[in-house]
Amino acid sequence: MGYFKTAALMAAMTALFMGLGYLLGGSGGMIIALVVAACMNVFTWWNSDKMVLRMHNAHAVGANDRHGLTALVAGLAQNAGIPTPAVYIIDSAQPNAFATGRNPANAAVAVSTGLLQALSREELAGVVAHELAHIKHHDTAIMTVTATFAGAISMLANFALFFGGSRERLGLIGTIAMMIFAPMAAALVQMAVSRTREYAADKEGAAICGNPLWLATALERIAMGAARVDNPAAEAHPATAHMFIINPLHGNGRDKLFSTHPATENRVAALREMARQMGGEMARGLGAASPRATPPSGSAPWGAKRPAAHARPHPDAPHPDAPHPDAHKPRRTPKRGPWG
């Protein structure tokens, strides 16, 4: 399913790219755009993860992993049932993280230095689990491809003013409209996928780390930090904003309709509801196993077998009301040992 969505998205982006080529250069421009799009598809599929990591100045975690990030990622990847991705650190004070890669076998998780400083170990586990969920669901391929294509389409639309062919076909107003609506169409393709996949990754990430509240509190902390601290690399490459766990951009004057991420409060509310449901199930499970629970029929509170009420007594068994045979003998006080 992940590969099918990626193929459909790449086809849509290619069609949009070809349409722009036709408007810029006619049939010849469309053919050129098709060739360029085909080359971009191949190049993006194999190298986009490296490109995105380079855009954000991420570097691989070395042997001096004083945060224990590599071990944390490896343990959570095992919980998720995927290969351990490469681990990168972004030199940015803004707390944030993203995942990239064309498939789970060729993936990477990148976290910022600000994130490592702002979150607890449990909250960090929730964030990493969220990114691993994206990798597990092949969302990273979709995100990486859309980021590359959206940037290329925006660039091509801006070139329209420098080519006479588009102005002859569309006029100045049409060319300006193309410059506005072509990047918007590419952005809408991104958002259609990104916003729904964030909820799915939150849910799967909570299951991977084992506690939805870890991710919920992490999202709240990251949202507050991202609102206060700039991310120059993300501002320079806004087409990659949808890859982050929280929108790193501050130009959020646009309406929520054009946001690459769902509202943080909605995501947190969904995670808290998930924790409440999990807590109820755990309470019911503990109640069933608790010694205070009502014992099953035919067993005593401590687990010994209780005779059934309708069972017939043995012929040689004494009557329940008869005195014990040794009841008439005097009781002797036992000797006290050295321990008292």
> Binding site membership for Zn(2+): which residues?
130, 134, 198
* Active-site residue set: 131
- Using DSSP's 3-state secondary structure scheme, residue 87 falls into strand
The answer to whether the beta carbons of residues 150 and 179 sit under 8 Å apart is no
- Using DSSP's 3-state secondary structure scheme, residue 58 falls into strand
Query: Which residues, 6 or more positions from 241, have their beta carbon under 8 angstroms from its beta carbon?
Result: 234, 247, 248, 249, 260
Q: Count the helices and strands in the chain (H runs, E runs).
A: 9, 4
**Angle (nearest 5°) at CA 128 between 243 and 199:** 55
Closest CA to 155 of 47, 293, 17, 307: 17
- Using DSSP's 3-state secondary structure scheme, residue 232 falls into helix
* Binding-site annotation, residues: 130, 134, 198
Query: Which residues, 6 or more positions from 36, have their beta carbon under 8 angstroms from its beta carbon?
Result: 17, 21
Q: How far apart are CA 28 and CA 118, in angstroms?
A: 53
Closest CA to 202 of 262, 260, 255, 250: 262
- Using DSSP's 3-state secondary structure scheme, residue 116 falls into helix
DSSP characters over 1-29: -HHHHHHHHHHHHHHHHHHHHHHHHHHHH
The answer to whether the beta carbons of residues 2 and 137 sit under 8 Å apart is yes
